[in-house]
Structure 1
Amino acid sequence: MDAMQSQTLFRQQAVVSQQQKIDGAILLKPRLPTLMITVLLCSWLIGVLSWLLAGRYTYTQTVTGWLEPALGITPVYGPVSGAIVSELLVSENAQVQKGTPLIRLTRDAIFHNGQSINDALIKELETQIERLQNQYRLTQKGFTTQQQRLTKAAERLTEDRSRLAAMRRLLDNKMALLDKQIQSFTELTHQGFSSRQQLQTLESQRLDETYQRQNLEREWIATLQAIEDNQFARNEAEHSHQLQLLNIENQISELQKSLDQQYSQQEVIIIASTDGRVTNLNVKPGQRAQSNVPLLSLMPLNAEISAQLLIPVAAAGQISPGQSISLRYDAFPHTQFGTYKATIDSVSPHLLLPQEVAQKPLAINTPVYLAKATLQATSIEHFNQRIALRAGMTFAAEIAIRERNLMQWLFEPLYALHGGVL
């Protein structure tokens, strides 16, 4: 019965297989296509890992800038707003020296009747100056006449003094002679050889001469006082005359200053403050000048061109002198002319506000740092011709901030989530 169950439950081959067991492990031999696919996948994986580890990814910052002479460009402004450009005395790219006239400006207004205010003021000032000049001449003429009169009076007083001196000497001699006669007649009278009447006559004459001598002395003193007064009057007239002339000269000087100021307000000539080449000549005759807008700029002669870059605040901490940058000039499309190298020389230690770079070729709305870079080439080659770079040309620059391999770049977001810094 058992035999019958075995025949019904299992196949004969299964029973025989169970009776013939083989010791060991079974190894399946792969087919050739499977082996080749496995090798290719492993090679690809190794290649990808090598590329991720060896490849580099560079973080760059794009900034803008312009070309400028290393010595800087000197802007030339008008002295006042509202002045009208009457004449351009130079042309674009003209070489000028310090002190060369550049632009003539005029500034004028008119009355309701159409008369020029400046012309009216100038005419009035010139009339006042002419009147003062006439007064100056008349004052000198009056002083000359007064001096002549005082000089003649002094001459007459000198003559009177000489005459009185002679009369004094004559009177003194006469009185001395009378004294001798009185002395002689006194002795003769005492001796009885002369009468008393003759002696009294001589004494009476002596009294008369003494009286005349006193009158003459008073006249002498009066003459000396008159001479002194005359000299004082002459000195006083000289002093007063000098004060009058000085006062008139001061008035003329003040009016002349006002006249010069009026002329300067009417016409202003802008001159070059340094040697250079005229660039950015932005005005034309008849145009009104603005005090905050340069009329033109002066570029130094034979000056080397350097690059000026506007660095955003967010990138300023990662930029330092010595870094290499790539420039793409707006005037020369990089798809045709390529990029050009430069090296950063310096970065400004302080921020520049938008109004501080308002007159530059580029406008900004936020504070920036200013960096300067040295160009490796100051010209561009095009069809075997060298084209010189010019001041004022704008460009975009790529600055390498930092470098990572591709593996670090790929996993940087995950790494950053855990607070790590690659």
Structure 2
Amino acid sequence: MKLFRDEAIENQKGKVYGDIVLSAPKMYKYYIVVIVILLVVALFFLWLGKYNRKEIVSGYIDPVDGVIKVIADEPAVIDKILVSEGAQVKKGEPLIVFNRGKSTLSNKVVSDEIVTSLQKEIDLVDQLILAVNQKSDASILQTEEAIKSHYAAIKSLSLEQTIINDAIGLIERKKNRLLKLKKSGFVSEIDVENVDLEYVNLAMEIARVKREITNLENLISERRRALDVESQNWKVEILNLNQRKEGITKELINASVMNSYTVRSPIDGVIDNVFENAGRQIFPGAPVLTVRKAHAEMIARLIVPVKSSGLISTGQKVFLRMDAFPYQRYGVISGTIRRISTSPMTPGQLEMPITVGESFYVVDVELKNAQKKDGNAGLILKVGMTLKAEIIIERHSLLSYLLSPLKSVTKQYEVNPS
């Protein structure tokens, strides 16, 4: 048995107190569900999301071993630059010739007069050497021609001697025949004497020819000895002239060395920059060109102000944006801090392509993806290129970042409870 009707009981279900009916629409329930889901997602995002604390500093590209600057030791004028940018050089290879004498007008005049005088002496000695050589050649040729003519005369006299000997043989046979005829009474004594006279004349001719041949042979020997002595004298004279020329040349070299000097490459490497041209006057300490090691590893040198250096340490990641390459197209270059200078440096203490107005530390960054390419264009890093660097100092979750003020207040309360 029911005390109340079913309709009355159903009517009283929505009441709490009094006669006011609280009836919430179903849409409110959906809103609550959505809000709860959004809160959960937000908490999840705050928990997983990361906040990077970073420092942005300037820097430039440099070889790991740095570059060597070639400078003038004293006031001088560049006579010659023997290399060009990008040229490969060996250790000890001449790079630049400086001239001290041209740095002032008075020194230049004196230097030019000395060099001109010595050069004239060298030219004069060269002319003397040429004249002596020509005279020696002419004299030797004349003597050799005379010796040849003597040999020709000896050959002619030898032929004449042969003919006379043949004639003597004929006369001897003629005399023998006449002697036989004389015994028979066919010829007189006078005929025999005439033949004897002819024989004597021919014998005298033979003696004359032999004497002339001997004289010519002796003359040839004398001329040969004289030619040897003359050749030796010419050689001695030319040697003396060459020694004189060598002495003058040494004086010229010494004069040139006193007024000029050559700078040579201290390493095997590559010429990076040539700052001056031949003929320019420079002063002590002025750079003329730079040399770096061939195939040297490129690094980024960051200039970190002292006020920003507190949380920087080796191993931290760095992202570089090159000023010469738009990062929207080429992206950024990643790297890792390799070395941090142990003590700060002051402005002007380090030569670099950027300007700093406060004390700083030098941070070396090892590059990771410096050879990134964009289509056919390669990202080629050159010494001295400037850049902006982002150093990731700390990484926190967003939730931790939002709660950091509360943590700070808590720490202050722990330190000072009152």
User: Residue 32 of structure 2 corresponds to which residue in structure 1?
Assistant: 38
Give the Cα separation in 1 of the matches to 2:400 and 2:16: 54
1:401 correspondence with 2:379: no
Q: Give the secondary structure class of the aligned counterpart of 1:345.
A: strand
Amino acid of the structure 1 residue aligned with 2:332: T
Task: Give the deviation of 1:63 after TM superposition.
Answer: 1.5
CA offset digits 1:232-283 (Å, max 9, x no partner): xxxxxxxxxxxxxxxxxxxxxxxxxx99897456323221111110011111
Q: Is the 8 A contact 1:344 1:371 kept in 2?
A: yes
Which stretch of the first structure deviates more once superposed, 378-387 or 51-60?
378-387
- Residue in structure 1 matching 2:52, options 50, 55, 58: 58
Give the Cα separation in 2 of the matches to 1:83 and 1:102: 15
Q: Give the secondary structure class of the aligned counterpart of 1:297.
A: strand
User: Residue 294 of structure 2 corresponds to which residue in structure 1?
Assistant: 301
Give the Cα separation in 2 of the matches to 1:314 and 1:395: 20
Q: Give the secondary structure class of the aligned counterpart of 2:401.
A: helix
Task: Give the deviation of 1:293 after TM superposition.
Answer: 3.3
Give the Cα separation in 1 of the matches to 2:67 and 2:103: 38
Aligned CA distance change for structure 1 residues 111 and 321 (closer, same or farther; 3 Å): closer
Give the Cα separation in 1 of the matches to 2:319 and 2:282: 39
- Residue in structure 2 matching 1:29, options 23, 30, 39: 23
Q: TM-score, normalising length from structure 2?
A: 0.56
Which stretch of the first structure deviates more once superposed, 368-377 or 379-388?
379-388
Amino acid of the structure 2 residue aligned with 1:367: S
- Residue in structure 2 matching 1:381, options 373, 385, 397: 373
Give the Cα separation in 2 of the matches to 1:49 and 1:411: 13
Q: Is the 8 A contact 2:346 2:358 kept in 1?
A: yes
1:364 correspondence with 2:356: yes
Give the Cα separation in 1 of the matches to 2:386 and 2:319: 13
Q: Is the 8 A contact 1:380 1:389 kept in 2?
A: no
1:47 correspondence with 2:36: no
Q: Is the 8 A contact 2:315 2:336 kept in 1?
A: yes
User: Residue 277 of structure 2 corresponds to which residue in structure 1?
Assistant: 284
1:327 correspondence with 2:332: no
Task: Give the deviation of 1:308 after TM superposition.
Answer: 1.5
Task: Give the deviation of 1:337 after TM superposition.
Answer: 0.7
1:77 correspondence with 2:71: yes
Give the Cα separation in 1 of the matches to 2:104 and 2:281: 20
CA offset digits 1:31-84 (Å, max 9, x no partner): 02222223223322333233223321111111222222222211111111x422
Aligned CA distance change for structure 1 residues 31 and 280 (closer, same or farther; 3 Å): same
CA offset digits 1:204-239 (Å, max 9, x no partner): xxxxxxxxxxxxxxxxxxxxxxxxxxxxxxxxxxxx
User: Residue 218 of structure 1 corresponds to which residue in structure 2?
Assistant: none
Q: Is the 8 A contact 2:322 2:387 kept in 1?
A: yes
Number of residue pairs aligned between Structure 1 and Structure 2: 268
Which stretch of the first structure deviates more once superposed, 396-405 or 114-123?
114-123
Give the Cα separation in 2 of the matches to 1:22 and 1:333: 70
Aligned CA distance change for structure 1 residues 297 and 41 (closer, same or farther; 3 Å): same
Q: Give the secondary structure class of the aligned counterpart of 1:38.
A: helix
Aligned CA distance change for structure 1 residues 296 and 23 (closer, same or farther; 3 Å): closer
Give the Cα separation in 2 of the matches to 1:381 and 1:110: 49
Task: Give the deviation of 1:336 after TM superposition.
Answer: 0.8
CA offset digits 1:277-310 (Å, max 9, x no partner): 0011111123232433321111101222222221
Q: How does 1:18-417 map to 2 (within 5 A)?
A: 28-80=22-74, 82-108=75-101, 116-119=109-112, 263-264=256-257, 266-359=259-352, 361-384=353-376, 386-413=378-405, 416=408
Amino acid of the structure 2 residue aligned with 1:91: S
Q: Give the secondary structure class of the aligned counterpart of 2:53.
A: strand
Give the Cα separation in 1 of the matches to 2:16 and 2:67: 98
User: Residue 151 of structure 1 corresponds to which residue in structure 2?
Assistant: none
Give the Cα separation in 2 of the matches to 1:319 and 1:374: 15
Q: Is the 8 A contact 1:344 1:372 kept in 2?
A: yes
Give the Cα separation in 2 of the matches to 1:120 and 1:26: 126
Task: Give the deviation of 1:23 after TM superposition.
Answer: 8.6
Give the Cα separation in 1 of the matches to 2:257 and 2:382: 36
Aligned CA distance change for structure 1 residues 115 and 324 (closer, same or farther; 3 Å): closer
Give the Cα separation in 2 of the matches to 1:314 and 1:350: 13
Q: Is the 8 A contact 2:76 2:102 kept in 1?
A: no
CA offset digits 1:149-207 (Å, max 9, x no partner): xxxxxxxxxxxxxxxxxxxxxxxxxxxxxxxxxxxxxxxxxxxxxxxxxxxxxxxxxxx
Task: Give the deviation of 1:383 after TM superposition.
Answer: 0.3
Task: Give the deviation of 1:117 after TM superposition.
Answer: 4.7
Give the Cα separation in 2 of the matches to 1:112 and 1:83: 12
Share of identical aligned residues, percent?
29
Give the Cα separation in 1 of the matches to 2:33 and 2:18: 29
Task: Give the deviation of 1:350 after TM superposition.
Answer: 1.4
Q: Is the 8 A contact 2:59 2:300 kept in 1?
A: yes
Q: Give the secondary structure class of the aligned counterpart of 1:34.
A: helix
Aligned CA distance change for structure 1 residues 350 and 401 (closer, same or farther; 3 Å): same
Aligned CA distance change for structure 1 residues 92 and 110 (closer, same or farther; 3 Å): closer
User: Residue 224 of structure 1 corresponds to which residue in structure 2?
Assistant: none
Q: Is the 8 A contact 2:64 2:296 kept in 1?
A: yes
User: Residue 232 of structure 1 corresponds to which residue in structure 2?
Assistant: none
Give the CA RMSD over aligned residues: 3.6
CA offset digits 1:333-369 (Å, max 9, x no partner): 111111121111111111222222224x223222211
Q: Is the 8 A contact 1:343 1:373 kept in 2?
A: yes
Give the Cα separation in 1 of the matches to 2:284 and 2:106: 30
- Identify unmatched segments of 5+ residues in structure 1: 1-20, 126-257
Q: Is the 8 A contact 1:65 1:394 kept in 2?
A: yes
Q: Is the 8 A contact 2:95 2:264 kept in 1?
A: yes
Give the Cα separation in 2 of the matches to 1:294 and 1:272: 14
